[in-house]
Protein backbone atom coordinates (compact mmCIF):
# COMPACT_ATOMS: atom_id res chain seq x y z
CA UNK A 1 0.00 0.00 0.00
CA UNK A 2 1.08 3.54 -0.54
CA UNK A 3 2.21 5.87 2.14
CA UNK A 4 -0.14 8.45 3.65
CA UNK A 5 0.35 12.09 2.84
CA UNK A 6 1.81 12.74 6.29
CA UNK A 7 4.38 9.97 5.87
CA UNK A 8 5.28 11.21 2.38
CA UNK A 9 5.78 14.76 3.71
CA UNK A 10 7.92 13.41 6.55
CA UNK A 11 10.12 11.42 4.12
CA UNK A 12 10.49 14.41 1.88
CA UNK A 13 11.57 16.48 4.91
CA UNK A 14 8.91 19.16 4.39
CA UNK A 15 7.41 18.67 7.90
CA UNK A 16 8.73 17.31 11.18
CA UNK A 17 7.08 14.93 13.68
CA UNK A 18 6.00 17.82 15.91
CA UNK A 19 3.95 19.41 13.10
CA UNK A 20 2.34 16.03 12.26
CA UNK A 21 1.30 15.53 15.90
CA UNK A 22 -0.12 19.07 16.06
CA UNK A 23 -2.18 18.47 12.87
CA UNK A 24 -3.52 15.16 14.25
CA UNK A 25 -4.48 16.85 17.52
CA UNK A 26 -6.33 19.68 15.74
CA UNK A 27 -8.15 17.15 13.57
CA UNK A 28 -9.30 15.17 16.65
CA UNK A 29 -10.46 18.35 18.44
CA UNK A 30 -12.39 19.47 15.36
CA UNK A 31 -14.12 16.07 15.04
CA UNK A 32 -14.95 16.09 18.74
CA UNK A 33 -16.53 19.55 18.52
CA UNK A 34 -18.42 18.50 15.43
CA UNK A 35 -19.87 15.47 17.23
CA UNK A 36 -20.87 17.54 20.25
CA UNK A 37 -22.41 20.28 18.16
CA UNK A 38 -19.97 22.97 19.26
CA UNK A 39 -18.62 23.61 15.83
CA UNK A 40 -19.47 27.13 14.71
CA UNK A 41 -22.09 27.16 11.98
CA UNK A 42 -22.66 29.84 9.40
CA UNK A 43 -25.48 32.38 9.73
CA UNK A 44 -27.84 30.81 7.18
CA UNK A 45 -27.63 27.48 9.00
CA UNK A 46 -28.36 29.22 12.31
CA UNK A 47 -31.34 31.04 10.84
CA UNK A 48 -32.69 27.84 9.35
CA UNK A 49 -32.35 26.06 12.70
CA UNK A 50 -34.02 28.93 14.53
CA UNK A 51 -36.87 28.94 12.03
CA UNK A 52 -37.33 25.18 12.45
CA UNK A 53 -37.39 25.57 16.22
CA UNK A 54 -39.95 28.37 15.98
CA UNK A 55 -42.13 26.26 13.67
CA UNK A 56 -41.91 23.29 16.05
CA UNK A 57 -42.79 25.51 18.99
CA UNK A 58 -45.84 26.84 17.11
CA UNK A 59 -46.94 23.32 16.17
CA UNK A 60 -46.54 22.21 19.78
CA UNK A 61 -48.55 25.21 20.96
CA UNK A 62 -51.35 24.46 18.48
CA UNK A 63 -51.35 20.80 19.51
CA UNK A 64 -51.55 21.74 23.18
CA UNK A 65 -54.48 24.08 22.49
CA UNK A 66 -56.24 21.31 20.55
CA UNK A 67 -55.68 18.80 23.36
CA UNK A 68 -56.89 21.32 25.92
CA UNK A 69 -60.08 21.89 23.92
CA UNK A 70 -60.62 18.15 23.61
CA UNK A 71 -60.18 17.58 27.32
CA UNK A 72 -62.52 20.50 28.09
CA UNK A 73 -65.10 19.09 25.67
CA UNK A 74 -64.81 15.68 27.31
CA UNK A 75 -65.25 17.22 30.76
CA UNK A 76 -68.30 19.19 29.56
CA UNK A 77 -69.89 16.04 28.11
CA UNK A 78 -69.32 14.16 31.36
CA UNK A 79 -70.74 17.05 33.40
CA UNK A 80 -73.81 17.26 31.14
CA UNK A 81 -74.48 13.53 31.46
CA UNK A 82 -74.01 13.75 35.23
CA UNK A 83 -76.54 16.60 35.43
CA UNK A 84 -79.03 14.62 33.36
CA UNK A 85 -78.55 11.50 35.47
CA UNK A 86 -79.01 13.27 38.81
CA UNK A 87 -82.00 15.41 37.77
CA UNK A 88 -83.96 13.05 35.53
CA UNK A 89 -87.71 12.78 35.95
CA UNK A 90 -89.58 9.52 35.48
CA UNK A 91 -91.39 9.08 32.18
CA UNK A 92 -94.89 7.90 32.92
CA UNK A 93 -96.52 6.08 30.05
CA UNK A 94 -99.74 7.68 28.87
CA UNK A 95 -102.03 8.02 25.91
CA UNK A 96 -100.59 11.27 24.50
CA UNK A 97 -97.97 10.82 21.81
CA UNK A 98 -95.24 13.44 21.68
CA UNK A 99 -93.16 13.60 18.48
CA UNK A 100 -89.60 14.93 18.34
CA UNK A 101 -86.65 14.85 15.96
CA UNK A 102 -83.54 12.89 16.98
CA UNK A 103 -80.67 12.11 14.65
CA UNK A 104 -82.59 13.25 11.58
CA UNK A 105 -85.49 10.90 12.29
CA UNK A 106 -88.88 11.63 13.79
CA UNK A 107 -89.21 9.76 17.07
CA UNK A 108 -92.17 9.58 19.41
CA UNK A 109 -92.82 8.79 23.03
CA UNK A 110 -96.08 8.05 24.79
CA UNK A 111 -96.57 10.22 27.86
CA UNK A 112 -99.43 11.61 29.89
CA UNK A 113 -101.14 14.66 28.48
CA UNK A 114 -99.84 16.79 31.37
CA UNK A 115 -96.21 15.92 30.46
CA UNK A 116 -96.86 16.56 26.76
CA UNK A 117 -98.24 20.01 27.61
CA UNK A 118 -95.21 20.80 29.79
CA UNK A 119 -92.89 19.75 26.98
CA UNK A 120 -94.79 21.93 24.50
CA UNK A 121 -94.79 24.95 26.85
CA UNK A 122 -91.11 24.67 27.74
CA UNK A 123 -91.56 23.81 31.43
CA UNK A 124 -89.56 20.57 31.07
CA UNK A 125 -87.16 19.25 28.48
CA UNK A 126 -86.29 15.98 26.86
CA UNK A 127 -82.65 14.89 26.94
CA UNK A 128 -80.67 11.91 25.69
CA UNK A 129 -78.99 9.80 28.36
CA UNK A 130 -77.30 6.49 27.52
CA UNK A 131 -79.18 6.31 24.23
CA UNK A 132 -82.65 6.78 25.68
CA UNK A 133 -84.81 9.88 26.16
CA UNK A 134 -85.31 11.21 29.69
CA UNK A 135 -87.28 14.14 31.07
CA UNK A 136 -85.41 16.87 32.94
CA UNK A 137 -86.48 20.13 34.62
CA UNK A 138 -85.93 23.53 32.97
CA UNK A 139 -83.10 24.52 35.33
CA UNK A 140 -81.18 21.41 34.34
CA UNK A 141 -81.90 22.00 30.65
CA UNK A 142 -80.26 25.44 30.79
CA UNK A 143 -77.21 24.03 32.59
CA UNK A 144 -76.87 21.14 30.13
CA UNK A 145 -77.25 23.50 27.14
CA UNK A 146 -74.22 25.45 28.39
CA UNK A 147 -72.13 22.27 28.37
CA UNK A 148 -73.50 20.11 25.54
CA UNK A 149 -76.26 21.21 23.18
CA UNK A 150 -76.45 17.79 21.51
CA UNK A 151 -77.66 16.10 24.70
CA UNK A 152 -80.93 18.04 24.67
CA UNK A 153 -83.49 16.56 22.29
CA UNK A 154 -86.43 18.86 22.98
CA UNK A 155 -86.64 22.17 24.74
CA UNK A 156 -89.21 24.73 23.71
CA UNK A 157 -87.80 27.93 25.16
CA UNK A 158 -90.81 29.96 26.45
CA UNK A 159 -89.13 33.24 25.44
CA UNK A 160 -88.99 32.07 21.81
CA UNK A 161 -92.48 30.59 21.56
CA UNK A 162 -94.69 32.76 19.37
CA UNK A 163 -98.40 33.00 19.98
CA UNK A 164 -100.59 31.76 17.20
CA UNK A 165 -103.18 34.41 17.94
CA UNK A 166 -102.82 38.01 16.78
CA UNK A 167 -102.64 40.51 19.63
CA UNK A 168 -103.53 43.66 17.69
CA UNK A 169 -107.18 43.43 16.67
Parent domain of 105: 89-154
42 domain-assigned: no
Confidence of residue 53 (pLDDT cuts 50, 70, 90): very high
In this structure, the number of other CB atoms found within 10 A of the CB of residue 110 comes to 14
Higher pLDDT, 93 or 74: 74
145 domain-assigned: yes
pTM of the full structure: 0.57
138's CB contacts (< 8 A; 6+ apart) are: 122, 123, 124, 125
- Could you give the CA distance from residue 57 to residue 9 in angstroms, rounded to a whole number? 52
Total tally of structural domains belonging to the chain: 2
Q: Is the pLDDT of residue 1 over 60?
A: no
Amino acid sequence: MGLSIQEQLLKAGLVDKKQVKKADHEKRVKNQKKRKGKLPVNDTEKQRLQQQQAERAEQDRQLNIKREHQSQRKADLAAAQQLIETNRLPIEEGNAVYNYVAGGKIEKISVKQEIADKLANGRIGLALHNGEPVLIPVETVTKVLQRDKNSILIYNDPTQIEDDYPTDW
